Amino acid sequence: MNAKVRLYVDHPLGAGQPVALEREQAHYLFSVMRLPQGASVALFNGRDGAWLAEVSETGKRGGKLVCNEQLQPQGTPPDLWLLFAPIKKARTDFIVEKAVELGVRRIVPVQTAFTNSERIRQDRLQAHAVEAAEQCGATFVPEVAELQKLGPLLAEWDERRLLFCDEAAVGAGTDYAAALSGASGPWAVLIGPEGGFSEPERKKLHGMEQATSIALGPRILRADTAAVAALTLWQAHCGDWR
């Protein structure tokens, strides 16, 4: 039986497991999607894979599903983080959405010298990550961290390798295979703000043993485009696209 709706739930999943619905979930399934009792829903929780469940109770303020069979085992993306400077709301949403689709394990908004936005709604971005996972068939939802200042974050950086997308190097050309060689272990991709990195930030990054600087082609990319391009490059050379 096919399920036309896929839903994230914060609830254990397993054969015969009942799943109680929250009010918003019940509204979506029964008022928006108009699913009747007996309808099928695909469920995932980021831990137990994806399960086919059946609607056993419907209601305006709640309802219940029962898991029948596993559709997908739990999958975990490569140990890749995305660090990016928040930009305008819709474009920040786009970055989070595409990071989930492209397969990252953690999303970290960072405040740089030229970051336009000094605050984010972490809960809203996390909810956006959940929606993206529902849409793209993922069984894993990456954590969206609170906004962190880039300087202190780099000062305490561990051995995780850092792919630094340097807009000042545009047009210089990059041997991506060489830059991403020996890619075993954890990585992070860092995308700067619309105004680029400051000179002190760039100097710090170039001085880090863990950091690898690359240019993203011959043209300057918008921050949201750069995030997609860099994650695609990494996945193609080092990740689960190979």
Range of the domain at 130: 80-238
- CA gap 57, 242 in Å, rounded: 44
Q: How far apart are CA 75 and CA 134, in angstroms?
A: 14
CA distances from 192 to 13, 205, 236 (A): 39, 12, 22
Q: Are residues 13 and 133 in the same domain?
A: no
Enumerate the β-bridge partners of residue 70.
51
Residue 48 lies in a domain: yes
Residues 68 and 84 both lie in one domain: no
Q: How confident is the model at residue 171, as a pLDDT?
A: 58
Are 137 and 209 in the same domain?
yes
Residues 190 and 97 in one domain: yes
Is 1 among the domain residues?
Answer: no
Q: Can you give the pLDDT at residue 26?
A: 96
30/33 Cα distance (integer angstroms): 6
Do 223 and 153 reside in the same domain of the chain? yes
**Token pair for 14:** 């397993």
- Name 59's bridge partners: none
CA nearest neighbour of 85 among 118, 42, 56, 52:
118
Same domain, yes or no: 103 and 184: yes
- The pTM score is 0.92
Phi, psi torsion values for 23, nearest 5 degrees? -60, -45
Rounded Cα distance, 237 and 179, in Å: 10
For residue 36, the model assigns a pLDDT of 95
Same domain, 54 and 168: no
How is residue 46 annotated by DSSP?
A: S
147/87 Cα distance (integer angstroms): 12
pLDDT, tens digit only, all 242 positions of the chain: 578 899 999 999 999 999 999 999 999 999 999 999 999 999 999 999 999 999 999 988 899 999 999 999 999 999 999 999 998 889 999 999 999 999 999 999 999 999 877 788 999 999 999 999 999 999 999 999 999 999 999 999 999 999 998 887 765 666 787 778 766 689 999 999 888 899 999 999 999 999 988 888 888 889 999 999 999 999 998 888 87
Q: Are residues 49 and 87 in the same domain?
A: no
Q: Going along 197-237, which residue ranges are E strands?
A: 211-214
Q: What is the CATH number of the domain that holds 91?
A: 3.40.1280.10
Specify whether 134 is located in the same domain as 20.
no
Shared-domain flag, residues 169 and 118: yes
Of 36, 52, 72, the domain-final residue: 72
Both 89 and 173 in a single domain? Answer: yes
Taking the C-alpha atoms of 154, 157, 162 and 164 in order, what is their torsion angle to the nearest 10 degrees? 10
Going from the C-alpha of 157 to that of each of 52, 151, 164, 187, 204, the distances in angstroms are: 41, 10, 14, 12, 12
| Domain boundary residue, one of 15, 38, 72 | 72
Query: Where a domain ends, among 33, 54, 72?
Result: 72
Domain total in the chain: 2
CB atoms within 10 A of CB 86: 23
Q: Output the domain CATH number for residue 63.
A: 2.40.240.20
Assess contact for 111 and 197: CB atoms under 8 A.
no
Q: Are residues 62 and 90 in the same domain?
A: no
Residue 168 φ/ψ region, left for φ over 0, alpha for ψ in the -120 to 50 degree band, beta for the rest: alpha
What's the CA angle centered on 106, arms 102 and 112, to 5 degrees?
Answer: 100
